[in-house]
Amino acid sequence: MIKKQIKTKKEDIVNYWFFEQMVDEGGLSVDAAEAHERCWRCGCEKRLERCHIIPESLGGKDEPSNFVLLCHRCHIENPNISDPEIMWDWIRAYRVSFYDTFWSILGAKEYEFIYNKSIENEIIDLGIDIDDKLKDFIEINIKELFKEISYHYGHPYLNTATCAGLYRMLIKRIAKEYGKKLPPLDYNRKRTFWGF
C-alpha cells in the first residue's frame, strides 16, 4: 500500500489546537509558543512529524483536528487507536516540567522494571542517607559515566535500556563508595499481568 501524502500543514495543526481549540496547555510539555518546534509529548527540540490521532486505516481524516506534532521517536510509540481521547491521555501522562528530562524519567522506569526496585528505594535499602553529600557524588559520577555509554548509530537519543544501565552503574558506584553490598537479583521472580 502506498502511503497517502498528508495535506494538512504543521502550522494548521498548531493553530487548530493552540489558537482555535485552546487545548489545556497546563497538561502538556509544550505551550503555544513552542508547539511548532518541540514535541508535544516529550518536549524535545527535534524535527516534528504529523501524527494521526485516529489512524488513517481506522478512518482518521486528513484535517488539523486529527493530528498532533511529535518527534520521530514519540511518533513510533504513539497509540494507534480509534478513540481520540487516548492520544491526549498518553501525551498528558508523560508531561515533563523540564525539557530533556523526559527520557531519563523513562530510563528510571526501565530500571525499576529490570531491577524490581526504584532507584530511590535502591539507595534507601542500602542504608544510605539521601543528603547533599550523596547528591554531589551522583552529580560528579553521572558526568563521568556518560563517557562509558554510547548512542546507537543514527539515533540522537539514549534509549531507555541505556539510561537504566547508566543508573545501575551509578548505583554500583554508590554502593562501593559507601562500603555497601547490593543484594543479589532474583531472576525467577514472577511478573503478573493485570496484577494477578
Contact set with Zn ion (CB under 5 A): 39, 41-42, 71, 74
How many CB atoms are located within 10 Å of the residue 68 CB?
Answer: 27
Residue 103 CB, nearest approach to Zn ion (Å): 9
Residue 96 CB, nearest approach to Zn ion (Å): 10
Residue 83 CB, nearest approach to Zn ion (Å): 21
Tell me whether residue 29 or residue 171 sits nearer to Zn ion (CB atom).
Answer: 29
Residue that has been written with the C-alpha cell 512529524 in this structure: 49
Find out whether 35 and 22 touch, Cβ atoms under 8 Å.
no
The whole-angstrom separation of Cα 107 and Cα 146 is 14
How many CB atoms are located within 10 Å of the residue 112 CB?
Answer: 17
Tell me whether residue 71 or residue 171 sits nearer to Zn ion (CB atom).
Answer: 71
Tell me whether residue 92 or residue 173 sits nearer to Zn ion (CB atom).
Answer: 92
The whole-angstrom separation of Cα 169 and Cα 26 is 35
The whole-angstrom separation of Cα 177 and Cα 122 is 15
Residue 88 CB, nearest approach to Zn ion (Å): 15
Tell me whether residue 36 or residue 117 sits nearer to Zn ion (CB atom).
Answer: 36
Residue 44 CB, nearest approach to Zn ion (Å): 5
The distance of Cα 54 from the centroid of its chain, to the nearest Å, equals 22
Give the three cell numbers for residue 5. 501524502
∠ at Cα 75 (72, 77), nearest 5°? Answer: 120
Tell me whether residue 46 or residue 168 sits nearer to Zn ion (CB atom).
Answer: 46
